[in-house]
């Protein structure tokens, strides 16, 4: 149980969708390759980023590039020098430039608003995607981590926000999404209401900014951007 004091907290995620797979969902095999792309010593903690490259089986063409950045509490202090902290950066090129997050809605732009009520068993349902971290299902582990009850997966929250953007800006067509970047700001409890504010970047119609908040606590939980493929419908 002591190991849970060194909790892994998801900090940021990016997804570059290089090629649509929708016409090939049947009889389609993919190969995943994961590697460390960044590692930074923060003395009392460490920041670790892992890249996952997805390719069609038998092909070198990249389908998708995912990055997950996690904050590892209690895992820092491994640098050889106290004056020069260890830092490693070998990121692959991105489709779009990464944006500094979080982003707040500007007063000059009217933001669209979308509400979604999560289910009390939402974390248990999302757990079936393969993320079996007990922080999202075991009340005792949640208490050890400092939460009164299990919390929702960050990627599940991101899914709600991106789905709202697909509905309001893509006419329901997910193939228009080219890249996603999200910064996790606070936890969400299953059953809470997510309010997603969305607005176009003033100088780029293909860029949609968003801020997701929990209605019951009036707290922002997720900020990010979605870049869309160029389309006459935009």
Residues with active-site annotation = 131, 136, 151, 154
Cα separation, 209 vs 133, in Å, equals 29
* Eight-class DSSP state of 108: T
Cα separation, 122 vs 191, in Å, equals 7
CB atoms within 10 A of CB 80: 8
CA distances from 117 to 145, 160, 195, 213 (A): 25, 10, 9, 12
Check: CB of residue 159 under 8 Å from CB of residue 174: no
Compute the radius of gyration of the chain from its Cα atoms: 19
Check: CB of residue 112 under 8 Å from CB of residue 168: yes
**3-state SS assignment for residue 179:** strand
Cα separation, 227 vs 209, in Å, equals 9
Q: Report which of 226, 102, 113, 218 is spatially closest to residue 176, judged by C-alpha positions.
A: 226
């Amino acid at each position: 149980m002591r190991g849970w004091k060194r909790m892994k907290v998801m900090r940021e995620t990016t997804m570059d969708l290089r090629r649509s797979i929708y016409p090939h969902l049947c009889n389609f095999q993919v190969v995943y390759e994961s590697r460390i792309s960044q590692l930074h010593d923060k003395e009392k903690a460490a920041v670790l980023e892992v890249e996952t490259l997805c390719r069609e089986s038998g092909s070198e063409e990249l389908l998708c590039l995912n990055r997950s950045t996690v904050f590892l509490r209690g895992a820092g202090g491994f640098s050889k020098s106290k004056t020069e902290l260890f830092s490693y950066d070998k990121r692959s090129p991105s489709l779009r430039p990464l944006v500094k997050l979080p982003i707040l809605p500007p007063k000059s732009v009217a933001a669209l608003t979308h509400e979604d009520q999560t289910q009390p068993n939402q974390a248990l349902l999302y757990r079936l995607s393969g993320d079996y971290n007990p922080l999202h299902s075991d009340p005792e582990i949640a208490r050890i981590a400092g939460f009164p009850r299990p919390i929702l997966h960050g990627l599940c929250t991101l899914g709600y926000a991106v789905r709202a953007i697909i509905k309001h800006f893509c006419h329901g067509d997910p193939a228009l999404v080219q890249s996603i970047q999200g910064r996790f700001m606070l936890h969400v409890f299953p059953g809470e209401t997510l309010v997603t504010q969305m607005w176009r970047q003033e100088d780029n119609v293909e860029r949609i900014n968003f801020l997701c908040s929990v209605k019951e606590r009036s707290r922002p939980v997720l900020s990010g951007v979605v870049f869309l493929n160029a389309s006459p419908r935009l």
